[in-house]
Amino acid sequence: MKLSAALSLAFVVLAVSPATAALAQPGPSLADTLGFIQGKLLARGDLSWVVTRSDASGGEPHLDRVNRVQTDAAACALTINYTVLIQGQQQSYDDTIQFGKISDVQLATWAHLATSTSVTFQTQPEVWTVELFFPNTTAAINFFDQSMADRVAKAVSHAAQLCGGLKSAQ
């Protein structure tokens, strides 16, 4: 009888959703954290910069515009509608960040992340990227302001922990 009660309790504990588990975490709530990220993305304005490659002459213009940001705390998600400039053409996309699937968050300059062993990149002005790592892909959130990028990286990490994506520091 005691074993079946223990198994039933274990099943109930395992059946708790990430949003429910977030209630037990210290720090700002998931809704507050997603609202912070949303506000910083909407407030940062258009980012326009020029990329110079070591293997090409001239510079390539880049545009990164956030059009809309929707939060869904129950789903541990944030959807960003953004416009980018690709080969002279503006294209709009919707990307949904599933915080429970994030495996790592890193902060670096855009040029550092883009540089490979054979090609180096420089941006003017400098662009700071919050890079989100998922099992099969990555996503990036860009800022000109390093301290704001750092604050957003910390907020993304906190949201990921609340949703079960990152393991809390021991």
| pLDDT tens digits, 12-45 | 333 344 444 444 568 999 999 999 999 999 999 8
Measured in residues, the chain has a length of: 170
Q: Which two tokens stand for residue 87?
A: 């080969």
- All structural domains of the chain: 27-162 (2.30.29)
Query: What average pLDDT does this structure show over 71-85?
Result: 95
Q: With CA atoms as reference, report the closest residue to 97 among 55, 58, 138.
A: 138
Please report, for the chain, how many H helices and E strands are present, in that order.
Answer: 5, 8
pLDDT, tens digit, for every residue of 119-154? 788 888 999 999 999 999 999 999 999 999 999 999
> Per DSSP, what are the bridge partners of residue 109?
128
